[in-house]
Amino acid sequence: MENKKDSTNYLHNVLLIGNPNVGKSLTFNKLTGLSATVSNYPGTTVDIDTGNFKIDGETIEITDPPGMYDLNTITEEERIAKLLLFSGDYDLVVHVIDAKNIDKSIDLTLQLIDAGTDVILVLNMIDELDRMGAKVDKEGLSAKLGIPLVLTSAANDIGLDELKNTILNYDDIKKNIDSNSKAKIVIHYGNDLESSINKVESKLEHRYDEMTNRAVAILLLEGDKDIRNTVKKHEKNYADVFSLVDSIEKEYDDPIKYLTKLQLSKYALYFKDEFTTINKVKPQTNDDFKEKLSRLMIHPVYGLIILALVLYFGLYLFVGVLGAGYLVDFFEDVIFGEWINPFLTQIVLAVIPWKPIQDLFIGSYGIVTFGLSYGIGIIFPIVSLFFIVFSILEDSGYLPRLALLTDNAFKKIGLSGRSIIPMVLAVGCGSMATMTTRTLETNRERIIATILMALTIPCSAQLGVIMSLLSSHPITLWIWLGIIIFNFIVVGLIAKRFVPGSQASFFMELPPLRVPKPKHILKKPGQGL
Ligand code: GDP
């Protein structure tokens, strides 16, 4: 970070990375306030947020890419976060992790340290750790990692000023840690792997700027396609490098990325045991209950019962009966039927003397009496209630569990459990859901999911009309639902048969279950509409 500081209008460029659900967006929003803007990564529809904050007369620019778990990326979004990480455009990385799940995320910090990246580690959700009665040895952990460490609770504005200061004074703080920490961690992947890494590293002639040559060698051995492209660009003898990598890969029974991950998770456990008391505190009854509920949600039988309850209460009773029934009736019959339409009809009749123009606004097909009253009267209540349900499911952490539950069934139609998220979103809005298919791993999965959404899943606007037509005879609703499910299975089986490509694998981290925050829930319908 040091060498670029001399230019007068220099902005510090910071990249914020972390797993989904660790509070990264909230940290970004709290740091940057109203300055944030959203743009797309060139050539993709992946959102990248940028913003800045000022401290001691300096401007710090922060970029918030999509969440990533590992340098070995799976989805396109993760890959873009990785491309930004190694783009050379950032002089400092802030890695946000969930303090309670340090063992699940710190392996990425270790990969970054090993790759020579300047990184600050942020342990967020420290309030939840406090509530558990657990502690972190902040100084010890920071000294062992050899990097600055900040404890935050973005939700409660704790530690954010310290984070800003640490970003500003990174160089001094880092120097101080380097001169004081005696036994800084050095990642060692075991003798066999280390000797393989050394062999590949010694074949690399170019000096890579954005990461160490060792990191390039590790990523090559792990089969990273992007790094292969980079190496192809820089190495004259890239063919020799690739053939060495390919021959080394054959010496191992397991994929090398599995072996490195295994080793890193041992380090991660060591850090959790050595520098936190998480394992020593008794889980709270509340956590016990959440743990049990979480297991039930992914159980093949109880999970389906919970899904049926969610569909019954969430979609049928809340969106269907309350939204499509009572609210639509109230909007149509009272708000528009008794108040707005008669009032506007009177005004139009008084102001516009000519019948064809009057008919444009009022009467059976008038813009106001027909267009507005159907658009607002039917669609608005249903879409709003749908997004309230969706954000409760999203914020509570139920959706990833649903993905795990449906994984087996979805495999039969060429998809993985991950596809449940666009599918549920498609009930809200098909176009938005189609955009979220980019989070799926393979092109094949994206195409099958899009075909299914386009042909079989009604969006909330269609749902509104269908539900309001059928809700007076509930049996017809069930017949309709049966037909939709039948269509879904048939179209899925046909798509699986004809869309080329290989079966997607499935890996998804389960975030902890949470009671959703009303503020977040009420924001969602606005975003959806
Ligand atoms: P992201 O996926 O990492 O961007 O996560 P978000 O910023 O969307 O946060 C995920 C959830 O964690 C939201 O419900 C936040 O309100 C909640 N959250 C974020 N930071 C904290 C924190 O410090 N403490 C607590 N208790 N909850 C938090």
C-alpha 23 to ligand 1 mean position (Å):
3
Q: In what order do the strands lie in the sheet with 149-151?
A: 37-40, 47-55, 58-64, 12-18, 92-98, 119-124, 149-151
Q: Among residues 209, 191, 97, which one has the least CA distance to residue 152?
A: 97
Residues of the chain with pLDDT under 70: 1-11, 34-46, 282-286, 432, 504-509, 519-529
pLDDT, tens digit, 9 for 90 and up, residues 481-493: 899 999 999 999 9
C-alpha 153 to ligand 1 mean position (Å):
9
Q: Is the dihedral of CA 472, 476, 478, 484 positive or negative?
A: negative
Pocket of ligand 1 (CB under 6 A): 18, 20-26, 67, 124-125, 127-128, 153-155, 395, 514, 517, 520
C-alpha 149 to ligand 1 mean position (Å):
19
Q: Where are the alpha helices (DSSP H) in 312-379?
A: 328-329, 341-351, 355-361, 373-374
Counting atoms of ligand 1 from 1, which one is nearest the CA of 125?
Answer: 23
Between CA 471 and CA 276 the distance in angstroms is 55
**Ligand 1, from 19, 21, 399, 513: best to mutate by most atoms within 8 Å of Cβ?**
21
Instruction: Give pLDDT, residue 524.
Output: 56
Instruction: Give pLDDT, residue 44.
Output: 55
Between CA 311 and CA 135 the distance in angstroms is 40
C-alpha 127 to ligand 1 mean position (Å):
11
Number of H helices, E strands in the chain: 26, 7
C-alpha 440 to ligand 1 mean position (Å):
23
118 contacts 144 by C-beta, under 8 angstroms: no
Tell me the two tokens of residue 266. Answer: 């041992």
pLDDT, tens digit, 9 for 90 and up, residues 189-205: 999 999 999 999 999 99
Who contacts 439 (Cβ-Cβ below 8 Å, separation ≥6)?
A: 75, 76, 77, 418, 421, 422
Query: Model-level pTM?
Result: 0.68
C-alpha 21 to ligand 1 mean position (Å):
6
Counting atoms of ligand 1 from 1, which one is nearest the CA of 27?
Answer: 7
Instruction: Give pLDDT, residue 469.
Output: 84
Instruction: Give pLDDT, residue 471.
Output: 78
Instruction: Give pLDDT, residue 149.
Output: 97
